[in-house]
Amino acid sequence: MAQDSNTEPSKKRPGLAPGRRFNFSIWYLVAVLVVLVAVQTFMSGQRNARVPYSQFKQMVADGRVNKLVVTGEKIIGEERLDSAGTSRVRTFETIRVEDADLVKQLEEKGIQFEGRKETNWWQGFLFAWVLPFAVIFIVWSFLLRRMGGGGAGGVMSFGKSRAKVYVESATKLSFKDVAGIDEAVEELKEVVDFLKMPAKFRALGASIPKGVLLVGAPGTGKTLLARAVAGEAKVPFFTISGSDFVEMFVGVGAARVRDLFQQAQQKAPCIVFIDELDALGKARGANPWGGHDEREQTLNALLVEMDGFESTRGVIIMAATNRPEILDMALLRPGRFDRQVVVDSPDINGSKAILNVHVRGKKIGPDVKLRVIAARTPGFVGADLANALNEAALLAARRGKKEIGMADLEEAVDREMTGIERRSRVLKPKVKEKIAFHECGHAIVGAKLPRMDPIHRVSIIPRGMSMLGHTLYLPTDDQYLITKEEILHRITAALGGRAAEELVFGEITSGAYNDLMQVTGMARAMVMDYGMSEKLGMLVYRRRMQPTRENPFPMQEDVFGDKTAELIDTEVKRIVDECYEQAKAILRESTDLLNAMAKRLLEVEVLEGDELRVFLGAERTTDFSRVEEDSISEAERGADQGQTEPPAGEGDSRLGTRLDRQG
């Protein structure tokens, strides 16, 4: 069970000397009330001059009274005193006497008077003193608690750490719940061994790295990996975000850092995990207009605690970030975060392993082939794969099914990649016909080129914001290098849609815009980056600037002159023109196939599986029956394992599923 460290009793409070505690006593309140009563009595006794009623009557008769206030017990008025040409006023009071002629006499003299209900002295004291002070105290306490982050201690909790502590019984994750990042797991097993058996390392004089920095794109499972380390080592796990240290008050963040490490020392051995470290550890001095004093003080406190005079043996600091280039160099030096573990995206096998973890507790149908889904989702991280499986479960439930089928998973992946189907969009028959020939042109040209991936689906159903159709190629394996011939084949297949439009309709449309963007990029990369042009040679004409602390969003820089630029444009155009002519030649030889396939696509809107193999052949299309798939146990298909934590996986080294789209 997670518990907030703020709620734990503390033997020391910030701002008080060790061993001293402030104890509230009721006698303090009694003393304050006695003082207030004395002040109220003194002020009430010194306020008005007392006069006999007979003297008051004479003052009225002489016309020396300005105005009167008549209460149930007394009469309070103002007397005008004239002496030596000067005039002044004093306040007096007298005991009220039953006098029937008083009102008539006051009216004759033109004296203003009014009646007022008299309040008890304690009521006046309550409303004049106690109530205002109580309101001020309540508002003050509320504001301090809000600014201090709430919790016990009020103002004394400003410097308390907001870290949540997961005790040994609450951290139930282990490395078996992490999939797709085997290298990162192997790196962190050393940390687990140190936490379990520190004596083995210390006997040889070895010291474990104090800080481990997990680097990876969002969703890779960095937090899950840190929790798995704590679960394997069976030690307490402190977790906090980097932004929780920074507050509006200078010095609060540094105090929280010191309090966090103090708590960690008390529970050592343990793991302290700081998520989004870049919010706290940005490089100092990067801003030429001045730094953020509070953030820099907090960072300085963290640096001192990680490698200061005081030992932190038994406390492992782990942090996660997706922007390591902007971190302060002092954080990355030996003795602090000197070990960086890259949490990268999974390959096909890694994606399949992640899917195997996520199907726990879900009812999976016998037709589901997770390797096909893994091949269809290059670039998907663990969070994406978890979302796809959850979306498939929602679709299956919406359709009234008892288990998740392959069709549900395919639809969920399509939704995440291209958006939901928009069957409500009404297209004119002529427009729909052009889209069908365009997509069939992609498919036929891609099927005729041997270095292209198998074709998985051809569709003319609109999806997302602007996609009117798409042709999906499904890679069979991970690909880390690409040959010149493969790039040329991809350019040719991408131009197959434009070639089909020109050959069939004698005109071209704007539907090939996305294809032309891809084609131009691939051709320029061949000439400027990969040295695949005979005229320009094996030179790199475009330098990709690496991100720095001063410029975390670098731009590409062209390093050539005007004459070379003209030659580059000529060579790029030559490559694209030659591939376009090759695409048209392939379609001229396959006119009957193009017409038959487009006609059928207009009827069914989607061609895949056996129907697609009728036109393109079994060797050039995907066939699920040929995919080797490990069997999914009955426990994985339907039993609730009670463990549905998302596994890791993120960023991607694969070149990706090719997706040619119309519109």
DSSP string covering 539-567: ---EEEPPP-SS-SS--EEE---HHHHHH
Q: Are 225 and 176 in contact (CB under 8 A)?
A: no
Query: Using CB atoms within 10 A of its CB, is residue 511 exposed (0-12), middle (13-18) or buried (19+)?
Result: buried
At 659 the pLDDT is 56
620 and 635 fall within a common domain: no
The pTM for the full model equals 0.64
Residue 94's CATH number: 3.30.720.210
The SS3 call for residue 514 is helix
Angle between helices 382-398 and 348-358 (to 10 degrees): 50
Buried b (16+ CB within 10 A) or exposed e, 326-343: bbbebbbeeebbebebeb
At 522 the pLDDT is 95
**In 310-448, where do the E strands start and end?**
315-321, 339-342
Alpha carbons 593 and 448: distance in angstroms, whole number: 12
Query: Using CB atoms within 10 A of its CB, is residue 156 exposed (0-12), middle (13-18) or buried (19+)?
Result: middle
Q: Is residue 134 part of a domain?
A: no
List the 2-4 sheet strands across, edge first: 2-4, 164-166, 237-241, 270-275, 315-321, 211-215, 339-342
Q: Is residue 16 part of a domain?
A: no
Q: Are 581 and 498 in contact (CB under 8 A)?
A: no
What the block records as the tokens of 107 is 């009216």
What DSSP element (H or E) covers 237? strand 237-241
97 and 215 fall within a common domain: no
Alpha carbons 412 and 387: distance in angstroms, whole number: 9
Instruction: Report the chain's mean pLDDT, rounded to a whole number.
Output: 77
237 and 110 fall within a common domain: no
Alpha carbons 258 and 252: distance in angstroms, whole number: 10
Q: Is residue 104 part of a domain?
A: yes
pLDDT confidence bin for 241, thresholds 50/70/90: confident
What DSSP element (H or E) covers 660? strand 659-662
pLDDT in tens, 582-607: 999 999 999 999 999 999 999 998 89
Alpha carbons 227 and 504: distance in angstroms, whole number: 60
Any residues with CB less than 8 A from the CB of 389 and at least 6 apart, and which? 355, 358, 359, 362, 404, 409, 412
Q: Is residue 374 part of a domain?
A: yes
Of 28-42, 500-514, 645-659, minimum mean pLDDT range: 645-659
In eight-state DSSP terms, residue 157 is: G
Rank 65-74, 574-583, 621-630 by mean pLDDT and report only the highest: 574-583
620 and 484 fall within a common domain: yes
Task: Give the residues across from 75 on adjacent strands.
Answer: 70, 94
Q: Is residue 529 part of a domain?
A: yes
Is residue 267 scored above 60 in pLDDT?
yes
Alpha carbons 165 and 168: distance in angstroms, whole number: 10
493 or 474, which is more confident: 493
Is residue 488 scored above 90 in pLDDT?
yes
Is residue 653 scored above 80 in pLDDT?
no
DSSP string covering 448-503: H-TTSPPEEEEE---BTTTB-EEEEE--SS--S---HHHHHHHHHHHTHHHHHHHH
Buried b (16+ CB within 10 A) or exposed e, 106-144: beeeebeeeeeeeeeeeeebeeeeeeeeeeeeeeeeeee
Alpha carbons 207 and 307: distance in angstroms, whole number: 13
The domain of 375 spans 348-419+629-662
Task: Give the residues across from 544 on adjacent strands.
Answer: 556
193 and 267 fall within a common domain: yes
Report strand pairing: 556-558 vs 542-544: antiparallel
At 8 the pLDDT is 42
60 or 389, which is more confident: 389
Is residue 567 scored above 90 in pLDDT?
yes
Catalytic, 439? Answer: yes
CA-wise closest residue to 610 among 618, 620, 602? 618
Of 89, 118, 147, which marks where a domain is finished?
118
Task: Give the residues across from 556 on adjacent strands.
Answer: 544
CA-wise closest residue to 237 among 218, 221, 224? 224
Q: Which of 439, 501, 571, 650 is catalytic?
A: 439
Q: Is residue 203 part of a domain?
A: yes
Whether the link from the prior residue into 378 is cis, omega within 30° of 0, is no
Rank 126-135, 349-358, 379-388, 438-447 by mean pLDDT and report only the highest: 438-447
Q: Is residue 464 part of a domain?
A: yes
Q: Are 14 and 159 in contact (CB under 8 A)?
A: yes
Any residues with CB less than 8 A from the CB of 275 and at least 6 apart, and which? 222, 223, 239, 240, 241, 242, 319, 320
CA-wise closest residue to 156 among 14, 353, 321, 292? 14
Residue 379's CATH number: 1.10.8.60
Percentage of the chain modeled with pLDDT above 70: 73
Place of tokens 């992490």: 178
In order of 160, 247, 254, 369, 497, the CA distances from 293 in angstroms are: 20, 11, 11, 55, 58
546 and 642 fall within a common domain: no
Q: Is residue 35 part of a domain?
A: no
pLDDT in tens, 83-101: 655 667 888 888 888 877 7
Is residue 485 scored above 90 in pLDDT?
yes
What is the number of domains present in the chain?
A: 4
Q: Are 605 and 459 in contact (CB under 8 A)?
A: yes
Any residues with CB less than 8 A from the CB of 492 and at least 6 apart, and which? 445, 449, 579, 580, 582, 583, 586
At 521 the pLDDT is 93
At 557 the pLDDT is 64
Is residue 335 scored above 90 in pLDDT?
no
294 and 393 fall within a common domain: no
23 or 163, which is more confident: 163
Average pLDDT of span 384-403: 90
601 and 456 fall within a common domain: yes
152 or 208, which is more confident: 208
Residue 496's CATH number: 1.20.58.760
pLDDT confidence bin for 47, thresholds 50/70/90: low
DSSP string covering 615-643: HH-STTB--GGGS--PPPPHHHHH---S-
Is residue 643 scored above 70 in pLDDT?
no
At 447 the pLDDT is 93
256 and 402 fall within a common domain: no
pLDDT confidence bin for 185, thresholds 50/70/90: confident
Is residue 235 scored above 70 in pLDDT?
yes
Place of tokens 């097993």: 189
259 and 233 fall within a common domain: yes
| Sequence-distant contacts of 594-601: CB under 8 A, at least 24 apart | 594/437, 594/440, 594/441, 594/444, 594/500, 594/504, 597/440, 597/443, 597/444, 597/458, 598/433, 598/436, 598/437, 598/440, 601/436, 601/439, 601/440, 601/458, 601/460
Percentage of the chain modeled with pLDDT above 90: 17
159 or 464, which is more confident: 464
189 and 89 fall within a common domain: no
Identity of residue 211: G
Is residue 645 scored above 50 in pLDDT?
no
pLDDT in tens, 387-396: 899 999 999 9
SS (H, E, C) 45-114: HCCCEECCHHHHHHHHHCCCEEEEEECCCEEEEEEEEEECCEEEEEEEEEECCCCCCHHHHHHHHCCEEE
Sign of CA dihedral 320, 322, 327, 332: positive
615 and 646 fall within a common domain: no
What the block records as the tokens of 642 is 């009670």
Is residue 21 scored above 60 in pLDDT?
no
CA-wise closest residue to 345 among 377, 316, 301, 317? 377
Q: How many Cα atoms sit within 13 Å of 474 on the Cβ side?
A: 26
Residue 301's CATH number: 3.40.50.300
pLDDT confidence bin for 552, thresholds 50/70/90: low
Of 242-246, 276-280, 315-319, minimum mean pLDDT range: 242-246
Longest dimension (CA), the chain: 132
pLDDT confidence bin for 639, thresholds 50/70/90: very low
pLDDT confidence bin for 656, thresholds 50/70/90: very low
